[in-house]
Structure 1
Amino acid sequence: GGFGRVWKVEHKKSKKIYAMKEMSKIRIVSKRSVNSVMNERKLLAVVRHPFIVNMEYAFQDRENLYLAMDLMTGGDLRYHLVRARQFTEEQTRFFVACIVTGLEYLHVNKIIHRDVKPENLVLDNKGYLRI
């Protein structure tokens, strides 16, 4: 995180809406994060699951790397937890089921997510929680 910005974009031909993650190459290098960013990009290229924020495609120019991701319009779990103060048992069970299902998919594919926290869990437009 902290390498750039995220934009809401529209694909010119398909008209599909994405979140475009723009990451500064200079920042990535200065934070000594080249390997972790490249690993994330490689992993995102092969994973596809309803409870994961999926990457559609990636590209780069001289200054930046760009990742076109599923657009998540529901905010992150931390925001909702602060707002609600606490979730009902039913909401909690639902969110845990989303997280466990997504993590199970990653683990079956020999991927370990080392930063599961409320601000890294986001809701899609249907209210499902994604990693």
Structure 2
Amino acid sequence: MAMTISGLARAGGVGVETVRFYQRRGLLGTPERPEGGGMAGGVRRYEEEDVRRLKFIRSAQGAGFTLEQIGELLRLDAGQDRARARELAAQRLEALDLRIAELQAARDSLRRLAGACHASEEGPCPIISAFEG
């Protein structure tokens, strides 16, 4: 089922400009314009494979991969290099674990500050004081 760029964008849950951005970055291909007149003349057509690739890009972004890493994953998919794909995933997991630890520490700190703020109505608010210093 061939579709226009707007159909591809809709199927992938993104805007047309996002599709074009991914094309400029080399993550999505740009089909040739067909020759001739008529209804389809000059309008690029995308296929289900393009939808699959667009959804892959969006999913990988949701997992926190950069566009450069996504490009590498897409190239690995064509080459079946599972070892490198596992390495990229392990790197991403390590970065996520670090970020989770940072967020948990921030949450714990804010929870302590909120408790201190609630415990007393006198003097400066501990939350505000913590962010000023």
TM bucket (normalised to shorter chain) is under 0.3
TM-score, length-scaled by structure 1: 0.22
TM-score, length-scaled by structure 2: 0.22
> Which has the higher relative contact order, 1 or 2, with Cα contacts under 8 A spaced 6 or more apart?
1
The structure with the larger Rg is 2
User: More helix by proportion, 1 or 2?
Assistant: 2
